[in-house]
């Protein structure tokens, strides 16, 4: 949730700055980079590495572990949506291990 709030805040700031800049008829884009805070929880157990390496970029482990038990087909659809719609940079080789892990009911360290 904290990551979402941070990303949403950046989005709002960019939108407001963009609207202000357009009012002046010219503006310059400047690239910025920043580090998001790392979550304290990670996924645990056999097969957790691909999930930790790919999913924790955008999602907290706690957010994922509170999801209801979903079928393998449903998790596959969700993972593919993250890749195709949200452009998550997940290697094709990691899709099946991620789906397998999540469909078994993920667990996370505290």
Domains, in order of start, for the chain: 2-34+42-108 (1.10.760.10)
Query: What is the per-residue pLDDT across 31-42, written as a single tens digit (0 to 9) for each?
Result: 877 665 556 789
The secondary structure of residue 107, as a DSSP letter, is E
pTM of the model: 0.63
CA distance linking residue 10 with residue 7, whole number of Å: 5
Segment 43-71, tens digit of pLDDT: 999 999 999 999 998 999 988 888 899 99
What values do phi and psi take at 37, rounded to 5?
Answer: -65, 140
């Amino acid at each position: 949730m904290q990551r979402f709030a941070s990303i949403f805040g950046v989005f709002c700031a960019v939108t407001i700055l963009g609207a202000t800049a357009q009012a002046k008829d010219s503006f310059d884009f400047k690239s910025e980079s920043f580090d998001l805070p790392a979550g304290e929880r990670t996924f645990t157990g056999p097969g957790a590495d691909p999930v930790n390496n790919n999913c924790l970029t955008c999602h907290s482990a706690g957010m994922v572990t509170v999801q209801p038990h979903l079928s393998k087909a449903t998790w596959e659809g969700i993972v593919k949506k993250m890749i195709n719609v949200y452009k998550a940079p997940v290697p094709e080789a990691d899709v099946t291990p991620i789906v397998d892990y999540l469909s078994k009911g993920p667990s996370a360290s505290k």
